[in-house]
Structure 1
């Protein structure tokens, strides 16, 4: 492996993920549009862009008014991509400079400041995870064979957290200032979304976040870490409500949602929630029943609940309510009714939450 590849991989994982990432029926382009130094002037609002019938016409202004929301989102997306690109570029330069200053390679610097500062999980924890997953592994797979992968899985998020801390230390020392101008913010639009479902946080919290999610969507799994970060940053200020939005092309997602609701009947919704997101490639009904056993649920009650399909109506109600509120992909978050779509970074949540916590004039 090239020395540069390790640091580049970490930077890519932390700073180059799509800020507007989410599970959606429509595929995103494989590459972002190439930015050029020249731009074509837009037509004036009264420019006719379509004619039909007996002299009827549509102007450029009318077109823009009809699609003003997606156009505003596109401008925001362009800003986020550029901001992310700047932050990644800056961190890459800072890592290079710090490595040179210490007479280390970038790989050696990352190892010293990230990998070496994360202790290996205890042997008991590693063996426990192996025992829990053993039934789903290929026959004959030994503990020693999968131990490295278990270590990587358990320590991966801690390494990412430590990497962020290290990069922030470098940015603070270098007094990094991002001065990219933001696009004009459109007027705040609030949707009426019922906060019904499994919840975390006090009922009296000033901020309610209603999350529409899909257990088979990888972007929903990615968003989990950000949601946890938000809850930790605003203790007692946020009530999080989880609602189900299984997408039609995720065939195992509806039953996974039902499994979480069956677990909720036994007081373990969030434990099942975490288990499902950690095992997105194994959401068949036998696997779901296996997770119930691992979580210590009454498997007789759970299996009966899951097999009966009795929770399907709740999932369908959530799905219908999400569509009514404008959800067309997952994850989607309504912060006091304000939509944040996709696996957004912490700063996106913070911006909306801080504004909501400001005294109303």
Structure 2
């Protein structure tokens, strides 16, 4: 039983571009959690960062425990062992790769690096190739169980005060504000775009979305892309440039950015001067600093009325927090 539960969450944890960072934040109760609980020359760890990590650990433990108990209950109702139920509903539904598929994969990898004989690594190759389908089957079955057994999760992350400053969509008076810290070169941020649009549509008029830049250091073009969006904002085309950048994540070099400005009909001379001169570098840096202060360690990071949700999470995760906030009104 332990094996399949751990397997599920091992496969589903990678939902964000990650970077360790220090944090500083204020809790909803007003206490300053920015004071470091550990510090050294050149860095520190704040109480906010520690709280966020402890929540992540509790959330992961809750998710694993919930899956285990749901499967155990369902298996008992059908007079099966949990392992037998999991095999029927998940493992057996995953199509096994053929020997030909595995040999083709092996031959391609052999061109890049020396490998043991095919027969020795055949089982590992099969597991690797099955992984995406296994993840999908696991997620689908767990979602089915949650709906069938009417699961409600009330565990919330620590609440922090986040400055809602930057380009925004939705009414300023909306009861729920989502502040998103994101990176134009992060694939998980691109993946999250569709979910954000789904959220905005489902809660039309009830959500204000504020976008703030958090370019990560290992994405070489992310910072300049963020500056390009801010330069476009000066000409009233922030969201149009925003869409262009996410649609062209593999082409974010300066010449490409200038080409997108041309496509959008911007004043090319003004845009080029803004981009080349680094006019918006301080804006982007201020956004990054704001993200670090509230515990952002990876992108995308969302704050829903101050409650953090990290990564390209499914719509249901947003819905859970948003519905709880709306219920208070």
Which category describes the TM-score, using the shorter chain as reference length? 0.5 to 0.7
Correspondence for 1:238: 207
Cα shift at 1:277: 0.8
Poorly superposed stretches of 4+, deviation over 2 Å:
16-20, 66-72, 77-87, 178-182
Mapping for residues 88-127 of structure 1, pairs under 5 Å: none
Instruction: Give the alignment's TM-score, normalised by structure 1.
Output: 0.57
1: CA distance, partners of 2:151 / 2:168: 37
Cα shift at 1:77: 2.7
Is 1:213 matched up with 2:182?
A: yes
Is 1:318 matched up with 2:312?
A: no
Mapping for residues 332-343 of structure 1, pairs under 5 Å: 332-343=301-312
3-state SS, counterpart of residue 210 of structure 2: strand
Correspondence for 1:73: 56
2: CA distance, partners of 1:276 / 1:258: 11
Question: Structure 1 residues 294, 18: CA separation in 2 closer, same or farther (over 3 Å shift)?
Answer: farther
3-state SS, counterpart of residue 255 of structure 2: helix
Cα shift at 1:298: 1.6
Which of residues 8, 22, 35 in structure 1 aligns to 2:16? 22
2: CA distance, partners of 1:250 / 1:209: 24
Aligned length: 237
Question: Structure 1 residues 223, 307: CA separation in 2 closer, same or farther (over 3 Å shift)?
Answer: same
Cα shift at 1:83: 7.3
Gaps of 5+ in 1: 1-15, 27-65, 98-104, 106-166
Cα shift at 1:69: 4.3
Correspondence for 2:155: 185
Cα shift at 1:260: 0.3
Question: Structure 1 residues 257, 357: CA separation in 2 closer, same or farther (over 3 Å shift)?
Answer: same
Mapping for residues 6-21 of structure 1, pairs under 5 Å: 18=12, 21=15
Which of residues 259, 266, 275 in structure 2 aligns to 1:306? 275
Q: Deviations over 1:248-307 (max 9, x none)?
A: 111211100000011111111111111111111110000101111111212121111111
Gaps of 5+ in 2: 1-9, 21-48, 72-84, 96-139
Structure scoring higher RCO (CA < 8 A, sep ≥ 6) equals 2
Question: Structure 1 residues 202, 246: CA separation in 2 closer, same or farther (over 3 Å shift)?
Answer: same
3-state SS, counterpart of residue 282 of structure 1: coil
2: CA distance, partners of 1:246 / 1:358: 34
Cα shift at 1:25: 2.8
3-state SS, counterpart of residue 12 of structure 2: coil
Cα shift at 1:76: 1.5
Q: Is the 8 A contact 2:55 2:158 kept in 1?
A: no
Mapping for residues 292-303 of structure 1, pairs under 5 Å: 292-303=261-272
Q: Deviations over 1:202-233 (max 9, x none)?
A: 11111111111111111111110110010011
Correspondence for 1:284: 253
